[in-house]
């Protein structure tokens, strides 16, 4: 299958591209810089220059492919509404190109805000339904194209997609711990974050591309929920810092932009995904990767 991948040189994309190539697929990755283009070429993929703001490049990539995996997203928390508008426009450009083809269109999403306080499942609908909602309501928007002949599939990733080289949420928590001189959790630390190892996530994406039916919601989640206190304790031990509790009202002041996320209890299940795709997560857990020092090396 000829697969067009946005975000191909990003953290998740850098694992998805070799996973696809090793399975015999031909990959073209969207690249907005010379560095990204070089990384894709080294991985064995073809390169299409462009960006999420270049809708013509997205249309061209989708038109030339047998399937599309859309992983790119502007993680700009200073203008999250603007990032959502960009996302919705990108999804529309790709989906409109695929109308009537029955080709797969995989859209990256997340489990974080699907159902805070209770376990999110693949049957839990996202409440983000409009252009001004989280991520531009792109998940529900993309799934609307199923009725127009697009095999649209949502891939919801765990809050932490972890592994050596990750510079995401957990890395930010380590940065805050170093700056504050203490490793903190919110309240009693019983709130949970779902997690998945990067290679397990990449395999779930590939299997969904190959086999998931139109309209499917896939949960790339290896661990239903890792307690934030356990995370803080490992970070504290690896950095030789005290571990403390921070009141919920003080989370934003202590952690900055990530405080609102770190205070949430957002477990998620992948039982249905594992059954549907024949996918069994086998990679190390989040605490194992923290213990390995991937996030806390100087």
Produce one character per residue of 225-248: b if its CB has 16 or more CB atoms within 10 Å, e if not: bbbbbbbbbbbbebbebebeebee
Residue 103: name the closest of 57, 64, 49 by CA: 64
201 and 239 part of one domain: no
Whole-angstrom distance, CA of residue 208 vs CA of residue 276: 9
Q: Is residue 67 part of a domain?
A: yes
Q: Is residue 275 part of a domain?
A: no
257 and 180 part of one domain: yes
Q: Is 79 helix (H, G, I), strand (E, B) or coil?
A: helix
Specify whether the CB–CB gap between 162 and 170 falls below 8 A.
Answer: yes
131 vs 92, higher pLDDT? 92
Specify whether the CB–CB gap between 65 and 4 falls below 8 A.
Answer: yes
* Mean pLDDT (the chain, rounded): 95
How confident is the model at residue 23, as a pLDDT? Answer: 98
Pull the structure tokens for residue 40: 């894709």
- In this prediction, residue 265 has a pLDDT band, given cuts at 50, 70 and 90, of very high
How many structural domains is the chain composed of?
A: 2
Q: Is 37 helix (H, G, I), strand (E, B) or coil?
A: helix
Give the structural domain span for 140. 2-160+196-221
Mean pLDDT of the 165-173 span = 94
Pull the structure tokens for residue 117: 């306080």
93 and 211 part of one domain: yes
216 and 286 part of one domain: no
231 vs 132, higher pLDDT? 231
91 and 119 part of one domain: yes
pLDDT digits (tens, 9 = 90+) for 88-101: 999 999 999 999 99
Q: How far is CA 95 from CA 23, 105, 148, in A?
A: 25, 7, 9
How confident is the model at residue 136, as a pLDDT? Answer: 67
Q: What are the two backbone dihedrals, phi and then psi, of residue 34, each rounded to the nearest 5 degrees?
A: -65, -35
Q: Is 120 helix (H, G, I), strand (E, B) or coil?
A: strand
Pull the structure tokens for residue 199: 């290679």
Q: Work out whether the CA dihedral 99, 152, 45, 160 comes out positive or negative.
A: positive
Question: What is the percent of the chain with per-residue pLDDT over 70, rounded to a whole number?
Answer: 98
DSSP H or E stretch at residue 21: helix 13-22
Q: Any idea what DSSP says for residue 250?
A: G
Q: Is residue 277 part of a domain?
A: no
Helix 34-43 vs helix 13-22: crossing angle, to nearest 10:
30
- In this prediction, residue 79 has a pLDDT band, given cuts at 50, 70 and 90, of confident
Residue 173: name the closest of 277, 182, 164 by CA: 182
Q: What angle do CA 196, 211, 106 make, to 5 degrees?
A: 60
74 and 208 part of one domain: yes
pLDDT digits (tens, 9 = 90+) for 42-73: 999 999 999 999 999 999 999 999 999 999 98
Q: Is 259 helix (H, G, I), strand (E, B) or coil?
A: helix
pLDDT digits (tens, 9 = 90+) for 185-232: 999 999 999 999 999 999 999 999 999 999 999 999 999 999 999 999
pLDDT digits (tens, 9 = 90+) for 175-189: 999 999 999 999 999
Pull the structure tokens for residue 150: 């697009």
How confident is the model at residue 162, as a pLDDT? Answer: 97
- In this prediction, residue 83 has a pLDDT band, given cuts at 50, 70 and 90, of confident
121 and 181 part of one domain: no
Work out whether strand 26-31 and strand 217-220 pair parallel, antiparallel, or are unpaired.
Answer: unpaired
207 and 63 part of one domain: yes
Residue 97: name the closest of 54, 70, 63 by CA: 63
Least confident of 68-82, 140-154, 183-197: 68-82
Whole-angstrom distance, CA of residue 168 vs CA of residue 152: 27
Residue with tokens 């996302």: 87
Rounded to the nearest angstrom, the gap between the alpha carbon of residue 71 and the centroid of all alpha carbons in its chain is 7
Q: Is residue 77 part of a domain?
A: yes
DSSP H or E stretch at residue 31: strand 26-31
- In this prediction, residue 77 has a pLDDT band, given cuts at 50, 70 and 90, of low
Mean pLDDT of the 107-124 span = 92
Q: Is residue 116 part of a domain?
A: yes
Mean pLDDT of the 113-126 span = 90
Q: Is residue 28 part of a domain?
A: yes
The CATH number linked to 89 is: 3.40.50.720
Could you count the other beta carbons within 10 Å of the beta carbon of residue 97? 22
How confident is the model at residue 100, as a pLDDT? Answer: 98
How confident is the model at residue 268, as a pLDDT? Answer: 97
Query: What is the value of pTM for the model shown?
Result: 0.95
Q: Is residue 92 part of a domain?
A: yes
114 and 13 part of one domain: yes
Q: Is residue 273 part of a domain?
A: no
- In this prediction, residue 261 has a pLDDT band, given cuts at 50, 70 and 90, of confident
Mean pLDDT of the 238-252 span = 97
């Amino acid at each position: 299958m000829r697969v067009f991948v946005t975000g191909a040189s990003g953290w998740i994309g850098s694992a998805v591209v070799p996973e696809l190539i090793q399975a015999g697929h031909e990959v073209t990755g969207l690249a907005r810089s010379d560095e990204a283009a070089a990384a894709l070429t080294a991985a064995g993929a073809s390169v299409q220059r462009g960006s999420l703001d270049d809708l013509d490049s997205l249309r061209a990539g989708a038109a030339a492919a047998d399937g599309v995996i859309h992983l790119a997203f502007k993680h700009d928390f200073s203008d999250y509404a603007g990032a959502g508008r960009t996302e919705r426009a990108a999804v529309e450009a790709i989906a409109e190109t695929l109308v009537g083809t029955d080709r797969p269109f995989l859209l990256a999403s997340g489990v974080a805000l699907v159902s805070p306080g209770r376990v999110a499942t693949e049957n839990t609908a996202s409440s983000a339904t409009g252009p001004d909602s989280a991520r531009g309501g792109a998940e529900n928007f993309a799934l609307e194209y199923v009725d127009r002949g697009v095999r649209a599939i949502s891939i919801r990733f765990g809050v932490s997609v972890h592994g050596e080289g990750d510079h995401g949420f957990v890395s930010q928590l380590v940065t805050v711990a170093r700056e504050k001189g203490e490793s903190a959790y919110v309240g009693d630390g019983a709130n949970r974050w779902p997690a998945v190892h990067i290679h397990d996530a990449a395999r779930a994406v590939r299997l969904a591309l190959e086999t998931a039916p139109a309209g499917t919601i896939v949960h790339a989640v290896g661990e239903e929920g890792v307690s934030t206190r356990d995370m803080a304790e490992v970070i504290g031990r690896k950095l030789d810092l005290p571990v403390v509790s921070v009141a919920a009202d003080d989370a934003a002041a202590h952690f900055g932009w990530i405080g609102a996320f770190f205070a949430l209890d957002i477990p998620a299940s992948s039982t249905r995904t594992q059954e549907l795709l024949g996918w069994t997560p086998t990679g190390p857990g989040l605490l194992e990767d923290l213990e390995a020092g991937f996030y806390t090396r100087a």
